[in-house]
Amino acid sequence: MTTTLATPPAPAGVLPPARRRAVLAVILAAEVLDLIDATVTHLAAPTITASLGGGPSLIQWLGASYALALGVLLVVGGRLGDKYGRRRVFLTGLAGFTVASVACGLATGPAPLVAARLVQGAFGALLIPQGFGILGAVFPRDRIGKAFSAFGPVLGLSAVGGPILAAVLIDTDPLGLGWRAMFLINIVLGGAALFAAHRLLPHDTGDRATVIDTVGSVLLAGAMAALLFGLIDGPAHGWRPAAWVALAASAVFFAAFARRQTTATNPLIKPSLFRNRGFVSGLVLGIAFFAAVAGLLYVVSLFLQGGLGYSPLRTALVGSAPVAAGIVVASIACHRLIGRLGRTLILIGLVTTLTGTLGLWAAVHTWATGTGPAVIVLAAVVIGLGMGTCFGTVYDITLGDVTPDEAGSGSGSLTAVQQLANALGAAAVTTVYLHTPHRPAEAMTTSLLVVAAITLACCGLVRLLPRRSQPQHH
């Protein structure tokens, strides 16, 4: 993602240390809001569907819609910050995100809720890319690393605590709001962050000469939306013609998008990256792996609530929180190992994820709905360790042999791909679970085998990746 400022970064010492720390807190608050709202519907989907109707299709769109809008517009959001100023775009994104959260909480039916989630993801795409650029402008070079190091612990705690907070709000039903409380709480959180951001963030003018590939973004959005519609609508309605038309349209849009990247003045993805075998292999591996694990987390939540009868809070404690804890632990440990192990670390993460997935499959297959919580927690922790080992490592290794002028485009592409893969996984893997014509235990074992097969296929791609990451990518 482009991170060029129109004006040079503020020299060290222009902002006092307390002000810089306050700016960091605002940026972290925005990241936490995005992280929590990206995942809460995984936990709340059964409750929301029981309240609003919509059936399996709503369950799938709840997870896919936010990630779809976020992924399609992330690179565009970064360039809008370059063009109009990061402060202005950050404030716009945060305000829109908060209003869209309220719209989610007040939705009266499935269609308004999905539409509000799309809008929420779109404003999130304006909000999130601005953070690192703002921090780079207010922190001196010798302190920027320390500022960035705060992201890991804060986001890690949010990843563990977010699902638990959402579950508590659903189970305690404050003011009779039920699941709506987990969106309406953003009135307070988002409002406070917006007030602080307006007072604290430094002004920047942007560069009106920055070019934004609007046509490419529209083509990508059409391709992904049509693909998700086909994957969700097809199994739900017996593969009626509309689903096949959507899948065909998706292929046409993707082809047009690929063509656009070779002709646009400032494409979303530099065409030279597609001639880099290591980058393309990492991109494919990332799409497959991120889609598989995103779908896995979704169906685990559905199974625990629909198959085992767990409450949202128990589901968070048994399924979501252990995975998040494993991700945090592995991410911290792998930060020091990537320089020594290189792409081997990705293989270790994939094998660990595969082990946890097969362990969960064995538990569900053997004991069906009598599976003990301790077994599920153990498998969830192992899955989380594997995911945490891969998440940042895939990015770093994939960018290992790109040129300096390709690094910004490559990094932005990978970040967007993760979100798009989340949307794809929420549609594809949950389709397997929701439309397997058996009991929840059989549907869960089938879904786990699909995830295991995808993860195993990813193992075969590791040898095509660059051997090492570049030092600046750590």
Residue 173: the pLDDT is: 87
Cα separation, 388 vs 334, whole angstroms: 8
Set out the domains of the chain in order of their start, with CATH numbers: 1-212 (1.20.1250.20), 213-265 (no CATH), 272-474 (1.20.1250.20)
Do 431 and 235 touch, CB atoms closer than 8 A? yes
Q: Angle CA(257)–CA(259)–CA(263) in degrees, nearest 5?
A: 110
Q: How far apart are CA 187 and CA 202, in angstroms?
A: 24
Crossing angle (nearest 10°) for helices 440-461 and 277-302: 170
Written as one letter, the residue type at 274 is F
Q: Which helix (H) or strand (E) covers residue 5, if one does?
A: none
The pLDDT, as a whole number, for residue 454 is 95
Sign of the CA dihedral 99, 193, 426, 228?
positive
Q: What pLDDT is attached to residue 351?
A: 97
b/e map 152-187, b = 16+ CB within 10 Å = eebbbebbbbbbbbbbbbbeeeeeebbbbbbbbbbe
| Percent of the chain's residues with pLDDT above 90 | 44
pLDDT at 368: 53
Provide the residue count of the chain: 474
pLDDT of residue 43: 86
Q: What is the pTM of this model?
A: 0.87
Specify whether the CB–CB gap between 289 and 390 falls below 8 A. yes
Instruction: Give the closest residue to 227 by CA, choosing from 434, 71, 415.
Output: 71
Predicted local distance difference test score (pLDDT) of residue 473: 44
Q: Is the dihedral of CA 432, 433, 439, 445 positive or negative?
A: positive
List of the chain residues with pLDDT < 70: 1-14, 367-371, 470-474
Q: In this structure, what are the phi and psi dihedrals at residue 332, rounded to the nearest 5 degrees?
A: -65, -45
* Cα distances (angstroms) measured from residue 411 to each of 2, 15, 78, 233, 282: 9, 29, 12, 33, 12
